[in-house]
Amino acid sequence: MQPDLTAPGVDILAAWTEASSVTGTEGDTRVVPYNIISGMSMSCPHASAAAAYIKSSHPTWSAAAIKSALMTTGNNQLNARMSVETNTDMELAYGACHIDTLKAVNPGLVYDAGEADYVKFLCGQGYSTKHLRLITGNNSTCSEAKHVTVWNLNYPSFAISTKSGMTCTLISTRTVSNVGPAVSTYKAVTAVPFIQIPRPEEDLHCHSLCNSR
């Protein structure tokens, strides 16, 4: 389910082409080298810079680990409009959170995934070997053994589809890797409106760096 997260993108001071007027509307003849702009084109550079900042601190981390760090450490309570308590649909607009780069450098746990994980995911989505190779650019193949359902991709978010008024039960598997202190204990806390998620009976105890569970 997209988007994954949101980044600063409202009223951003940015370079502006002098081939266009300030507003781009008829009759506006003003030409400026900079403008105040809003939109995804403004958010994208912030998200990219945040990922580069994390990569500079953790050069061995994969793209999936960096995305996980950003998605699991951000702030989704910046104001009432972004609060799931007062607006249950807003998560479809901002994703997991609003990025917090400083926190993302030390996420504690990450949901990591590599090329093989995404190959299995695409095979599970019904891709043929022919179409899979158009994406991977190598000799990857799809087989029944490689099929992974969308809800079991090791991703830092979950998506469940059901009809209005209907109920469903889904077991989804995730593996987390400890990138925090070597000896750590993590407690699971769930607070999701309209969904019942059983809390694990035991806390997660890590005894080494990069210990995966």
Q: What is the pLDDT of residue 168?
A: 78
Residue-wise pLDDT for 130-145, tens only, equals: 998 999 889 988 876 6
Q: What is the pLDDT of residue 61?
A: 94
Q: What is the pLDDT of residue 85?
A: 65
Read off the amino acid at residue 43.
S
Q: What is the pLDDT of residue 87?
A: 63
Average pLDDT, rounded, for the chain: 83
Residue 105 has pLDDT above 90, yes or no: yes
Residue 52 has pLDDT above 90, yes or no: yes
How far is it, in rounded angstroms, from Cα 196 to Cα 211?
28
**How many CA atoms lie less than 13 Å away from 175 in the CB half-sphere?**
12
Q: Would you list the DSSP string of 77-119?
A: -SSGGG-TTT-TTTHHHHTT-B--HHHHTS-SEE----HHHHH
Residue-wise pLDDT for 13-45, tens only, equals: 988 988 989 888 888 899 999 999 888 888 888
Residue-wise pLDDT for 57-87, tens only, equals: 999 999 999 999 999 998 766 555 566 666 6
- For 92, residues 6+ apart whose C-beta sits below 8 A from its C-beta are 1
